[in-house]
Amino acid sequence: MNYSAPDFSTKENAQALAGVPLAQLIEEKKKFKATLEKEWYKQAEKNGNLNAEKSRKGLDDAETAYSE
């Protein structure tokens, strides 16, 4: 059998093979979190659907790949 499988031994290689534009997706999520997400929270608080102090407790301090 003369077949060579592509190298998907790492997450980065697998994403590249699948055509996942990770850098672009991260930038889009950062933009969303900086703009629309904040508006959603404001609107939810205004409507009485969200208590931001309880629902976001500890989450805004977390370091993730999306942190600035």
Domain that holds residue 41: 24-68
Q: Is 50 contained in some domain?
A: yes
- Say how many domains are in the chain: 1
Reported as a single tens digit per residue, the pLDDT across 37-62 is 889 888 988 998 887 677 666 666 66
Residue 45 to residue 59: CA distance in whole angstroms: 17
Cα separation of the two ends of the chain:
49
Q: Is 38 contained in some domain?
A: yes
Q: Is 6 contained in some domain?
A: no
Q: With bands split at pLDDT 50, 70 and 90, how would you rate the model's confidence at 29?
A: very high
Q: Is 16 contained in some domain?
A: no
Does the pTM of the predicted model rise above 0.85?
no
Q: Is 34 contained in some domain?
A: yes
Encoded tokens for 27: 């930038």
Percent of the chain with pLDDT over 70: 79
Q: Is 5 contained in some domain?
A: no
Phi/psi at 33 (nearest 5 deg)? -65, -30
